[in-house]
Amino acid sequence: MKAKPILECVPNISEGRDAEVIRQVSRVIEQVEGVRLLDVDPGKATNRTVITFVGPPEAVVEAAFLLIKEAAALIDMSKHEGEHPRMGATDVCPLIPVAGLTMEEAAQYAHVLGNRVGEELGIPVYMYEAAATRPERKNLAVIRSGEYEGLEKKLSDPEWKPDYGPTKFHPGAGATVIGARDFLIAYNVNLNTTSVRRANAVAFDIREQGRVKRQGNPLTGKIVRDEKGEAVRIPGKLMGVKAIGWFIEEYGIAQVSMNITDVRMTPFHTAFEACRTSARERNMRVTGSELVGLIPKQAMIDAGKYFLRLQNRSTGIPEREIIHIAIKSMGLDELAPFDPDKKIIEYLLEDGERDPLVKMSLRNFAYKIASESVAPGGGSVSAYAGAMGAALGTMVANLSSHKRGWDERWEHFSIVAERGQALVDKLLFLVDEDTHAFNRIIDAVRLPKGSTEEKAARKEAMQEATKYAIEVPLEVMRTVLEAIPLVEQMIEEGNPASASDGGVGILCLRAAALGAWMNVRINMPGVEDDAFRSKVLEEGNAIIAEVEAAEQRMRAKLESLL
């Protein structure tokens, strides 16, 4: 299943001293449904506030527009003073793809926002980073050169015509820079030293900028310069990483403090390992690390899988277990508890009402089914039976990957287990989705039917809801059909001691397919679309035939094994 699209926005507004203005500007974000305000960080010296919020892309774009509008109404740039470079009331507004989105898609959303700000608010807009319209405008510092004071002259230069909005100077709002960029991870690595100089040595080893080249002694030698007189630098190991060493009195240790600006080029576990290598070469030890702010779930999963592979361990385990391995391997809980539900963006945004059934205990799930409520019913139970069947096949793969004497095949079984875990997750999603599908039919039935138009709309809604109530169990059947070859493979290749577990898995999958097929067929009379009915019946019958044949094959195979 594709990850739910999540977009982050980090606008910087040119106000860091007036708490009421900051409150009013940030308040508009929470008016948009689906958007979550994560952080408001004002700076008095810079007279600038960094605001962070996340949510579905369209909702984030709407919230960003409302924020820019509110900032333009409340902030007068002609009176602004501050230490940080700036050119507008909303100075910069980057969009960051967190999950389920490509950088190109994030850039498209940035252009939608930029066009709307220019057209509706009359504010000049420049696009930067991945949304830049020309190479020379990718760099924010280049666009912002001359700042607010030089903006009126810049707008009169044809070379600096805004990407959106007027060329006319807007004295109150200035101009806004909008773009799309990578997620930035603020990350500190802890060292068993109190020396800032030694922490800096590690930082210089790993950061992209590296260190200044010197003649002779690397600390006191004369700086080597090129023909232009500029200092020659020895580049560091990691691209897209800024780093410095510092001492944290609160913890009594020195840290390598990093901003990882390109997590595609340098995942944060790679930065951790680079610090560990450099520290060891300098007779120091990394004791743990600290994540500042939030992180996308995929970054944690990538880290956990990296450390599992180092141990020749299967990566086909539930994501919470993978994340636990990442936390422990990198010592993310050394200085303070690390709560994934508060540090991982996707977990912060989870809708607890979306999948209530799979969050229940087994006892409560059974009691819920046994109650007088018509949902959850056979469809949800079929999906759960399928999840158990796929889980048993995945279990055999994981056990086989970890079996003594089978070390040379651990990766083969790990790949199978990853596929199995994905099928388990999909079937668990369908447990609740079957109940949501039933509720859509109930909602359609309750639509008004007084007028001719209302009757037509109600009928159409009922047809669409009924089709969806068929599609969900049909998807269960399709997923079962994907899972059966995996379980068969594990019965034949996996740990022989677990063959019976695979057999139970096949039986669960057969029950899931037959149960889902019953739910497809019982809803079929409510569909008036003959072509849809014919297509579904043909596909369903074919799946059942394959499932039944597989069950017979595996029972015969198991009889010979047992």
Number of C-beta neighbours around residue 402 at 10 A:
17
Torsion angle, alpha carbons of 117, 121, 126, 131, to 10: 0
pTM: 0.77
Which pLDDT tens digit goes with each residue over 260-270?
A: 988 889 999 99
Nearest one of 115, 100, 101, 87 to 12, comparing CA atoms: 87
Please determine, for residue 498, whether its predicted confidence score (pLDDT) is greater than 90.
yes
pLDDT in tens, 503-535: 999 999 999 999 999 999 999 999 999 999 999
**How confident is the prediction for the chain on average, in pLDDT?**
92
Give me the CATH topology for the region 6-180: Formiminotransferase-cyclodeaminase; Chain B, domain 1 (3.30.990)
Q: Is 84 a catalytic residue?
A: yes
Lowest mean pLDDT among 2-6, 442-446, 502-506: 2-6
Q: Which residue bears the tokens 């708490």?
A: 19
Question: What is the number of other CB atoms lying within 10 angstroms of the CB of residue 536?
Answer: 20
Whole-number pLDDT of residue 351: 62
CA–CA dist 263, 291 (Å, integer) = 14
Is pLDDT of 232 > 80?
no
For domain 185-348, give the CATH superfamily. Formiminotransferase, C-terminal subdomain (3.30.70.670)
**Model confidence band, residue 353 (pLDDT cutoffs 50, 70, 90):** low
Q: In which band, very low, low, confident or very high, does the pLDDT at 3 lie, cut at 50, 70 and 90? A: low
Q: Which of 18, 41, 84, 402 is catalytic?
A: 84
Any residues with CB less than 8 A from the CB of 362 and at least 6 apart, and which? none
> pLDDT band for position 356 (50/70/90)?
confident
Residue 46 CA neighbour count, 13 Å, CB half: 13
Q: When comparing pLDDT for 190 and 38, which is higher? A: 190
Using CA atoms, how far residue 37 sits from 28, 33, 93, 350, 419, in Å, is: 10, 11, 15, 14, 35
- For the chain, give every residue range classified as CATH 3.30.70.670: 185-348
**CATH no. of 362-561:** 1.20.120.680
Beta strand 6-9 pairing with 48-55? antiparallel
- Asked if the model's pLDDT at residue 333 lies above 80, the reply is yes
* pLDDT digit string, tens, across residues 388-422: 999 999 999 999 998 988 988 999 999 999 999 99
Confidence band of 342 (pLDDT split at 50, 70, 90): confident
Tokens of 444: 């359609």
What does the pLDDT read at residue 348?
A: 81
Q: Exactly one of 91, 205, 434, 501 is catalytic; which is it? A: 434
Q: Is 170 an active-site residue?
A: no
* CATH 3.30.990.10 in the chain, residue ranges: 6-180
* Residue pair 280/198 in contact by the 8 Å Cβ criterion: no
Per-residue pLDDT averaged across 424-438, rounded?
94
Name the residue with tokens 């099928």: 423
Is residue 349 pLDDT above 90, yes or no? Answer: no
Judge whether residue 1 has pLDDT over 60.
Answer: no
Q: How confident is the model at residue 335 (pLDDT cuts 50, 70, 90)?
A: very high
Q: Is the pLDDT of residue 2 over 70?
A: no
Q: Is 482 exposed, middle or buried (0-12, 13-18, 19+ CB in 10 A)?
A: middle
- Taken as a whole, the chain contains a residue count of 562
- Separation CA 64–CA 59 (nearest Å): 9
pLDDT band of residue 354 (cuts 50, 70, 90) is low
Average the pLDDT over 202-218 and give the result.
86
Q: How does pLDDT run across 62-86, given as a tens digit for each residue?
A: 999 999 999 999 999 999 988 778 9
Hunting for tokens 């319209």 — which residue is that? 133
pLDDT at 211: 87
Which amino acid does the sequence have at 473? P
Highest averaged pLDDT of the listed ranges 236-250, 333-347, 422-436: 422-436
pLDDT tens per residue, range 454-469: 999 999 999 999 999 9
Which one has a higher pLDDT value, 345 or 401?
A: 401
| Stretch(es) of the chain classified as CATH 1.20.120.680 | 362-561
Q: What is the pLDDT of residues 105-115, one digit of tens each?
A: 999 999 999 99
